């Protein structure tokens, strides 16, 4: 287990290097496969073919940036929520934020923009839906002070109700299910500079604030009495971390849909590497979450699944949420087994 600051700093450098390699691999992967040299020259503005620059800059680079930053936001949100609730199984979906963002996105697609391009209003609507749901979960979970168990319960209940509303919209909609279901599963397909411009301002503000809140998170893990004894108002600290987690989740889901398991898997893996101290854990989660979603998105572009029966046509790319769900369920079962053996 990595604990000393120099070793943690070296680990972060190694992880950042790995994310950089994944980023280059992401830029060269697709229907038009490019070499690393062609990717670098296209990024530098001197491509061997004009098409290379268009593919790299207009199609692949914004998608890679969105995947990397959304993964970092979801992983950090999961780590923050686990500190707020003192529950290692907490993850962003339990707040209902994902369900609220998805319902708002599907509503926008079905009602507000049924025939035309949804435009920049789609991610903004999803962000508003996620923030509204997170706020409702918090208010319903407040009883003199924030009750973590009650907050999670309210999030689950709200998520179920909102998911039913999304299903109703899907049934009543005349649009193709494929265009709408990607929001339920989570996808980076078709992400452009419009999505990036909507995502990065939130990331620039919320990710540093989340990492800097690590000392408060450490005190909350020790319990409210310990936090108060050390001069920290537990309720205020918990509310601050909760607001950061909801904002991170809403921003990511508003851009890539309800991508699951990132906020659950990454903090668990990070604890096994650097321990429980949030000062080490939070930065590691940011980098690992970025690499996880980037790697999964590379997989979606590299694999094309042909259905084994007639009547179905295979999509060009499966949503990234499908691969993360498959990996996440397996990882979760392994974690449960290890915890049960202790």
Neighbours of 260 (CB within 10 A): 20
Residue 37 located in a structural domain: no
Is there a contact between 82 and 241 (Cβ–Cβ < 8 Å)?
no
Residue 35 located in a structural domain: no
Q: What is the predicted pLDDT for the residue at 179?
A: 66
> In the chain, how many domains are there?
1
Q: What is the predicted pLDDT for the residue at 15?
A: 95
Sequence-distant (≥ 6) Cβ neighbours of residue 230 within 8 angstroms: 219
Residue 19 located in a structural domain: no
CA angle 186, 190, 195 (to 5 degrees): 80
Per-residue DSSP letter, 207: H
Residue 48 located in a structural domain: no
Q: What is the predicted pLDDT for the residue at 30?
A: 83
Is there a contact between 181 and 50 (Cβ–Cβ < 8 Å)?
no
Q: pLDDT tens digits, residue range 82-112?
A: 888 887 778 888 888 889 888 988 888 888 7
Residue 46 located in a structural domain: no
Residue 80 located in a structural domain: yes
Cα separation values, 83 from 90, 141, 211, 226, 235, Å: 9, 16, 12, 14, 13
Q: What is the predicted pLDDT for the residue at 48?
A: 74
Domain of residue 250, CATH code:
1.10.3470.10
Is there a contact between 100 and 158 (Cβ–Cβ < 8 Å)?
yes
- Domain extent for 171: 63-304+316-336
Q: What is the predicted pLDDT for the residue at 338?
A: 65
Q: What is the predicted pLDDT for the residue at 122?
A: 75
Q: What is the predicted pLDDT for the residue at 298?
A: 93
Residue 311 located in a structural domain: no
- Extract the residue ranges of the chain whose pLDDT is less than 70: 1, 113-120, 143-148, 174-179, 304-316, 335-336, 338-342
Q: Which two tokens stand for residue 48?
A: 């061997």
Q: What is the predicted pLDDT for the residue at 335?
A: 66
Sequence-distant (≥ 6) Cβ neighbours of residue 35 within 8 angstroms: 28
Residue 71 located in a structural domain: yes
């Amino acid at each position: 287990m990595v604990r000393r600051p120099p070793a943690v700093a070296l680990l972060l450098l190694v992880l950042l290097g790995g994310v950089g390699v994944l980023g280059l691999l992401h830029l060269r992967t697709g229907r038009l496969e490019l070499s690393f040299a062609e990717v670098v020259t296209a990024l530098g503005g001197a491509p061997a073919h004009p098409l290379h620059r268009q593919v790299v800059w207009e199609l692949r680079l914004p998608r890679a940036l969105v995947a990397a930053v959304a993964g970092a936001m979801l992983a950090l949100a999961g780590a923050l929520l686990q500190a707020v609730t003192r529950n290692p199984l907490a993850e962003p979906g339990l707040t209902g934020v994902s369900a609220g963002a998805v319902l708002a996105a599907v509503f926008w697609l079905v009602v507000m923009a049924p025939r035309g391009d949804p435009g920049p209003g789609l991610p903004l609507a999803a962000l508003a839906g996620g923030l509204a749901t997170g706020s409702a979960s918090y208010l319903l979970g407040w009883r003199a002070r924030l009750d973590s168990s009650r907050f999670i319960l309210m999030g689950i209940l709200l998520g179920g109700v909102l998911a039913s509303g999304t299903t109703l919209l899907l049934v009543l909609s005349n649009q193709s299910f494929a265009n709408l279901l990607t929001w339920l599963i989570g996808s980076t397909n078709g992400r452009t500079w419009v999505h990036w411009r909507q995502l990065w301002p939130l990331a620039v503000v919320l990710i540093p604030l989340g990492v800097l809140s690590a000392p408060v998170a450490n005190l909350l893990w020790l319990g409210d009495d310990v936090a108060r004894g050390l001069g920290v108002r537990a309720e205020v600290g918990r509310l601050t971390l909760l607001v950061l987690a909801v904002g991170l989740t809403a921003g990511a889901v508003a851009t890539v849909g309800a991508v699951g398991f990132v906020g659950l898997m990454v903090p668990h893996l990070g604890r096994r590497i650097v321990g429980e101290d949030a000062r080490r854990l939070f930065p590691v989660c940011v980098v690992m979450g970025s690499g996880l979603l980037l790697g999964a998105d590379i997989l979606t572009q590299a694999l094309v699944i042909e259905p084994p029966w007639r009547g179905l046509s295979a999509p060009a790319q499966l949503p990234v949420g499908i691969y993360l769900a498959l990996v996440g369920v397996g990882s979760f079962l392994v974690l449960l087994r290890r915890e049960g053996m202790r």
